[in-house]
Structure 1
Amino acid sequence: MVGALYFLALLSSTMAWGRAGLWSLDAARNGTGDRCTCDAFLPSSTFPIKDLVVIEQAAVEISHRVELEMGKLEDYETKLTAYAEKIIRLTVEIEKMEKNPDAYNDAHIDEIKVEIKQVEALITELQLSIKGSTTVFTSLRVEITVMVESLDMLEKSYDQNSVLATRREYIKVQLELEECERRHQEIFNPNIGSCSHSGIIKVSKPIVGQLNAQLNSGLKFGGWGKDSKPVPDRESMYWYSGYSSASIIDIRFYTNYKNLILRNHFQHHNLHSSWYGTGNNYIIRDNTMYYQINSPFGLAKLNFTTMKYESRVIPKASNRFSYTNSPNQFFDFAADESGLWVTYATDESSGRLVLAKIDEPSFGIEEEWVTTVYKPGVHNAFMVCGVLYAVRTIDIETEDIFYKFDTKTGKGSYISIPFERFQESYVNLDYNPTDQKLYMYNNGYYVNYHLWFNYTVEATIEATAEPALQLS
């Protein structure tokens, strides 16, 4: 089966400017009855129409480039299907040769070798094409980020209605790019919900949505993202909550990404004063918010379907150990393909990070693991497929996934997977298993990242040796 595994591994290695001012007409005539007057109220500064035109032109150009990439994706999908069929056929032939080598002569073997070289060349060509598309996506994201910053500035300085048409065009372009990237991911990473990999190997460049719903860069605390276990008809829902301090007093819900960008929420829940929370690493799962509370010091959950509130105390959890640069962050909730988790530190663990699996129906702790990493040295953490990943800051632009702990083996190890931040300060970082993305609340901006996993033949065999983790 050596030849068969080789080919499987080969396959797996291969997505009109409006009114200038307000006119007040005065119907009163002067004494002679032959004149009428009016007053013009002009803005205090001239609207930069040229800037808006430049943004509009950029939006049209980006839209055309996205359309070209969509066409390429269709070609990639066709080629990938053809290559897969060739590899499967060659794999069958090699398996036959391994079982009965005497039935084949040198000519047969040479013919197989030629076909192998041809498939290798085809896959190399496809990999280069895919890399080219990924580079284009990155470039388009940078251009869109510049566009949204310009639009935010114009909205703050001038009449928001005057910028609305251009913002709608920008949203259209951004949604087209989101769809193109989604199709790219479906074609080249059709493993959403699967844990048949050996872990994260790469994190994308930051993908910046825009400044928060209140257009306030001072709201540095908070979070945003998607429901990790969405209820029916809310699969596309996004949530957001932002503050100027580490408080949790309300939350907004948006039907989809477009309405998030338009700041058009369909629900805005103000928490009852006795339900207020603190910290930043709260999440939404099954239309329920899981978050930290101070009185009593512990965990809380609020179901937005039933508006039922519950709280739990973890007696050993300490309020002396928080994340680096994140005061009052004593509990960090996370969700992945296998369920709901929370991390904290205890005096018994001497500040080392403790990971606990939560039983969702009872809201109790199923099992605990004590890691070797010191919590105050960690900037944030998240879960993927039952594995804890801890992150720390390298410099003003770079974070590093430096540690992982596998709950299946009970062992931790030090790694290094650096990735870039959009801006220096961030407080919320969580993984979502429904799209395999990281969501970050970065200095008031919505930021997310694509993840790449090591889907090798060996990792697949290892994962399937035990029951695979599936989406709950």
Structure 2
Amino acid sequence: MKKSLFHNNDIKTLLLLPNIVYYEVPFLPSDMGQSNIFILLILIPLTFTQSVKGKVCVCDLKNSDPAFPMNKLMKVETSALQCTGTITSQKMTELDRLVLGLQQRIKQLEDNVVMLEKEDDRNLYGAVSLRIIELEIAEIQGLFNKLNSTTTNYQHLSLQTAAQLDDMKDTMEELEKFDNMQVIKKERENQRIKRELEQCKEEIKATAPPPTVPPARCGLGRMVSVVGPRTYSLTVYSTSYPYGAWGRDANPARGDENKYWLVVLLLSNVYGHFVRQYNTLSTLLIGIGQTDTYISSSNPTTNTIQGPNMVMYGNALYYNCYNTYSVCQFNMTTRSVSTVALPKDAGYNNKLPFGHLAAAYSYTDMDFATDESGVYVIYASTSNFGNVIITKVQTSNPPVLGQTWTTSLYKGTVTNTFMVCGVLYATRYLDKETEEIFYSYDTKTKEERFDLKINIKKMQTNIQFLNYDPRDHLLYVYSDAYILTYELIFQ
């Protein structure tokens, strides 16, 4: 029903609904002519009363909405920030670290007791050994006490957080009751539409998709995303060694298909001298049943692993030989080492490493990658102005350098590389949470792309090692002492 409440014909009531009145008011800015008239729509929730005095209608309009409780909303925001600051990924993994540490100390104690039983001479040796065992038991008791204390603290934190969440839920339900005009609901819808609009704009401006690998080469389509992590765990070494590598043999011997290998750089985050192998992923995650194969007796010495980039292929480990510009091939069965030298101007000894604006990854001059066809070494040289070079490594014994491709990708702007079906992909650091696959080089067509935008969700700040396994299409990652896997999605 339409009704005029004022003598002034310029103000008209458009529609009367219960408790809400919409007014159409002509509005003429002072700097515009009569032909430019704006309309203001005034929405007023009200309590409507009417009386008649003579021939004039008088209306009293009162806002029927209570004042919005802004203090309650601010309290919810404060509680949410406190929860975010209290519950962190470091705290969630603290118990795991304590339990792993306790397991190792108990195992060491068992070994010492067995040794004492075998070699006790009932004299000075036994007394000293008993004293050492007594000290170890005291340290284990201290770990137990810390574990109990941490568990109790987490129980209190869990109860406190649950109570805060219930309180925030109740408060938000109460606040939504003030939404008489559906403002919150409409604002949410507007935000959703804005996000979809921005996404649509990005898709319109998006460049061509990443390279599509011809079916004849390995049967995969173009890579569209990276999902995960599928695996996320500390190793048995806890957080002691942030640099290392792990994965599976890309071309295993019969019977070794399920084995996993792990190498940590023990000395200065630069050098490693043995390979640890596990029969299954679960034994690796738990830290039991390992077999250690030593390349050299200590670090650093001839044949020592230098840098975190290495791969396993055909029961041999490929890595940067200590203090040289050579590729080392370590046979896991015979424990023999063969080498092949890169060009003399190739980067080594931390001269041309991976990195980004904030940091460099130490001794990553050479990166090794596996794909469906074998092993590659990725490096840079002064003759190529520090840009990335890809060389195929023939996995004979001794190894031989095969075909080489030069790129225009500057190695210092890259954090890691990997190969899929003859295509090199490079990643870069975006922020603490995101790594981006931004570059590709197709060794078949020699096509370079700098506009890939495929993100990897990081769990830790840095990625020291990354390699693709053609057997399961997973990326194996070593990130600040954590081991992870990500699944590559192909269209």
Instruction: Tell me if both proteins adopt one fold, taking TM over 0.5 as the criterion.
Output: yes
Give the conservation status (yes or no) of the 8 Å contact 1:220–1:426. no
Q: Give 2:227's match in structure 1, choosing from 192, 204, 212.
A: 204
- Higher deviation after alignment, 243-252 or 390-399: 243-252
Structure 2 Cα separation of the partners of residues 230 and 146 of structure 1? 38
Distance 1:249 1:193, change over 3 A: farther
Give the conservation status (yes or no) of the 8 Å contact 1:336–1:386. yes
Task: Tell me the CA shift for residue 331 of structure 1.
Answer: 1.0
Structure 1 Cα separation of the partners of residues 216 and 334 of structure 2? 28
What is the correspondence of 1:278-289 to structure 2 with a 5 Å cutoff? 278-289=306-317
TM-score by length of 2: 0.54
What is the correspondence of 1:98-113 to structure 2 with a 5 Å cutoff? none
Q: Give 1:234's match in structure 2, choosing from 248, 251, 256.
A: 256
Give the conservation status (yes or no) of the 8 Å contact 1:338–1:386. yes
Give the conservation status (yes or no) of the 8 Å contact 2:284–2:290. no
Distance 1:248 1:155, change over 3 A: closer
Q: Give 1:341's match in structure 2, choosing from 360, 365, 376.
A: 376
Structure 2 Cα separation of the partners of residues 271 and 408 of structure 1? 36
What is the correspondence of 1:84-95 to structure 2 with a 5 Å cutoff? none
Q: Using the aligned pairs only, state the percent identity.
A: 28
Structure 1 Cα separation of the partners of residues 99 and 274 of structure 2? 28
Secondary structure of the residue that 1:290 maps to in structure 2?
strand
Does residue 305 of structure 2 align to residue 277 of structure 1? yes
Structure 2 Cα separation of the partners of residues 247 and 150 of structure 1? 29
Structure 1 counterpart of 2:415, which letter? H
Gaps of 5+ in 1: 1-143, 164-191, 455-472
Secondary structure of the residue that 1:274 maps to in structure 2?
coil
Distance 1:309 1:193, change over 3 A: farther
Structure 2 Cα separation of the partners of residues 235 and 246 of structure 1? 29
- Paired residue for 2:122? none
Distance 1:146 1:195, change over 3 A: farther
Spell out structure 1 runs of 4+ moving beyond 4 A: 144-149, 157-163
More helix by share: 1
Structure 1 Cα separation of the partners of residues 354 and 411 of structure 2? 6
Structure 1 Cα separation of the partners of residues 261 and 381 of structure 2? 31
Q: Give 1:445's match in structure 2, choosing from 482, 486, 489.
A: 482
Does residue 312 of structure 2 align to residue 304 of structure 1? no
Structure 1 Cα separation of the partners of residues 354 and 231 of structure 2? 24
Task: Tell me the CA shift for residue 447 of structure 1.
Answer: 0.6
- Paired residue for 1:373? 409
Secondary structure of the residue that 2:218 maps to in structure 1?
coil
Q: Give 1:384's match in structure 2, choosing from 403, 420, 429.
A: 420
- Paired residue for 2:346? 317
What is the correspondence of 1:62-461 to structure 2 with a 5 Å cutoff? 150-156=95-101, 195-215=218-238, 217-244=239-266, 245-272=269-296, 273-315=301-343, 316-319=345-348, 320-324=351-355, 325-361=360-396, 362-414=398-450, 415-454=452-491
Higher relative contact order (CA 8 A, sep 6+): 1
Structure 2 counterpart of 1:289, which letter? L
Give the conservation status (yes or no) of the 8 Å contact 1:206–1:448. yes
Task: Tell me the CA shift for residue 294 of structure 1.
Answer: 3.3
Structure 2 counterpart of 1:150, which letter? L
Secondary structure of the residue that 1:275 maps to in structure 2?
coil
- Paired residue for 2:14? none
Secondary structure of the residue that 2:97 maps to in structure 1?
helix
Task: Tell me the CA shift for residue 155 of structure 1.
Answer: 4.0
Give the conservation status (yes or no) of the 8 Å contact 1:300–1:309. yes
Structure 1 counterpart of 2:470, which letter? P
Task: Tell me the CA shift for residue 301 of structure 1.
Answer: 0.7
TM-score by length of 1: 0.56
Distance 1:148 1:287, change over 3 A: farther
Task: Tell me the CA shift for residue 193 of structure 1.
Answer: 12
- Paired residue for 1:105? none
Aligned residues: 283
Structure 2 counterpart of 1:238, which letter? Y
Structure 1 counterpart of 2:368, which letter? F
Structure 1 Cα separation of the partners of residues 91 and 442 of structure 2? 39
Question: Residues 322-360 of structure 1, C-alpha deviation per residue, up to 9 Å, x if partnerless?
Answer: 100312111111110011111110111100100111111
- Paired residue for 2:75? none
Distance 1:148 1:207, change over 3 A: farther
Secondary structure of the residue that 1:206 maps to in structure 2?
strand
Larger Rg: 2
What is the correspondence of 1:18-37 to structure 2 with a 5 Å cutoff? none
Distance 1:227 1:309, change over 3 A: same
Structure 2 Cα separation of the partners of residues 384 and 145 of structure 1? 33
Structure 2 Cα separation of the partners of residues 292 and 312 of structure 1? 10
